[in-house]
Amino acid sequence: MQAATVTDATTTARITAASTATPTALPRTRSRRPLPRGLTAGLFGVGAALPEREIDNQHFEDRLDTNDAWIVRRTGIRTRRWLDEGAPLAPLAAEACTAALADAGRSADEVDHVIVTTITPDRITPGLAPEVARLIGAHGAAAVDVNAACAGFLYGLDQAAALVETGRARVVLVCGAEALSRLTDQEDRGTAVLFGDGAGAVVVAAGELDRGVSRFVLGCDPEQGDLLYADNEDRKLRMEGREVYRHAVARMTEATTEALAASDLTVDDLDLFVAHQANSRIIEAAANELGVPHEKLAINVDRVANTSSASIPLALAQAERDGLLQPGATVALAAFGAGFVWGAGIVSWKELRHVCA
């Protein structure tokens, strides 16, 4: 299986041009064969895409009362990527999906369902997923957006596994794609430095797997919704940082502990812990609470900042490139976001080389 790839806006330009072209074929109706019973959903490919425009911390020193040392100390973030103003997000998501399919050795024609998790779609409606399906050539596939903020990718992954294991789909693309630069208040010292844009995707399909994608522990606490939100009038992310930090660490720790117990595993059985890349302090605090050693942490928030629902697939792709993920590795995933919503689950990484169903 080839390594996961990261693409940038130079490559994305090809798909941007394609997005304005007249469709050459009508979506086709698919004849789906029944899925064999007893197979397990697993991860078979990963892809990532980042905008070309890079924003380092110096950008904020010039306009806010802050500096690089303070930003790195408080967040771990050194740089982030932003889409150009007015640029669409769908082509970036399509690049990530195309890379994931190539990594899994699958084609767009085999995709039954496209799930895109995002809080920053290009339009209010239609959602991002139908356009992503069109751009990658998944004609006839179902397509739907999921909005669960920073936990969205885990919610989408849980839905994808359920679709596969109930026989409703054979191959599902789950893509986290965000353009948080659209929601960032550049004059807010507390949040302006935190957010970036990007997209990451995985291919979920069935196989004769030992673990695959285990059941996710998901939850919400809507009483805390006003601590992290963006409303329709202001359209900027607003956050009570200390409270969000406290809740994020507690909820990700609790959910991961429950997910490990449900899988009859302990922290010692993990090869890697991949948490939502909100900031390095939250990731490290959750790991400390769980007892995960630093060498088993996936951290790329220093390079891409907080990309909301895109952060976990981006971190998975980076971990594989860095040699932290090998086929068959046992990985804990955990995320927390606005709502509050959260989730955690245990997956095996590319347990089989090829999709067998």
Q: Are 284 and 297 in contact (CB under 8 A)?
A: yes
Q: What Rg, from alpha-carbon coordinates, does the chain have?
A: 19
Catalytic, out of 57, 147, 247, 276: 276
In the annotation, is 139 catalytic? Answer: no
Q: Find the catalytic residue in 150, 247, 279, 300.
A: 150
- Give catalytic status of residue 356 as yes or no: no
Instruction: Kindly provide the residue ranges of all beta strands, DSSP E only, lying in 148-279, ordered along the sequence.
Output: 171-179, 197-207, 217-220, 228-229, 238-239, 272-275
* Angle (nearest 5°) at CA 153 between 343 and 211: 70
How far apart (Å, rounded) are the C-alpha atoms in residues 357 and 4? 22
Cα–Cα distance for residue pair 140/8, rounded to 1 Å = 28
Give the start-end residues of each E strand in 245-317. Answer: 272-275
Percentages (nearest 5) of helix, strand, coil residues in the chain: 35, 25, 40
Residues recorded for the chain: 357
Instruction: Respond yes or no: is residue 276 known to be catalytic.
Output: yes
CA pair distance 306, 336, nearest whole angstrom: 12
Coil, strand, or helix at residue 227? helix
Catalytic residues: 150, 276, 306
